[in-house]
Amino acid sequence: MLKVTVVKGVPDVVIKLEGSLDMGTGHSLQRTVEELDLDRIHNLTVSLSGLDIIDSTGIGQLIGYHRILSRKNGRVLIENDNREIEEILGLIGVREILGS
């Protein structure tokens, strides 16, 4: 299950995630992002420290937002101090893709 908390609204949005982010739970994040309106978001900061599990599909969702935001000079920024989450981010090379 995924809990999505909007810490800061548009244009520089900060979202905190808790629980698990995967193909089965990603719709909660998608719904929040749609409610905020992706067109009005410049930078999207996502805090992953509260996540228990993230898999490649969950990471792919964040990369998808980054691709959309980067077309208008925005980006996705990742905040994380969770060692296990950091390991999988490193494995997939997501920080290189996001440039963070």
Partner 1 sequence: MNFPSTYWVYPLAAVLGYLCYRLGCWVQKGRTERAEYRELLAVYREILPKITHGRVRLISPAEYRAAYAGDDPLLIIDVEQKDDIPRVRQTVDEFFADFIPHWKEVRSPILTALSEAVTNVVKHTPGGRVLVYLESTGPRFHVEDCGSGMDLAKLPAMVFVSGYSETSSLGAGFTVMLRYTQQMEICTSAEGTALVLRTHLASPLNRERRGKEEGHALSCCPAVEAGHGCGQNYTWQ
**Token pair listed for 12:** 């520089």
CB atoms within 10 A of CB 49: 14
Please name the residues in contact with 51: beta carbons below 8 A apart, sequence gap of 6 or more.
Answer: 17, 18, 19, 20, 21, 82, 85
Query: What residues numbered 15-34 form the site for partner 1, per CB under 8 A?
Result: 20, 22-25, 27
Q: How far is the CB of 20 from partner 1 (least distance, A)?
A: 6
The dihedral sign for the CA sequence 28, 15, 40, 56 = negative
48 sits near partner 1 (criterion: CB under 8 A): no
70 sits near partner 1 (criterion: CB under 8 A): no
> Nearer to partner 1 by C-beta: 14 or 68?
68
Span of 3-11, 29-37, 42-50, 80-88 interacting with partner 1 by CB under 8 A: 80-88
The single residue among 38, 56, 86, 100 that binds partner 1, judged by CB under 8 A, is: 56
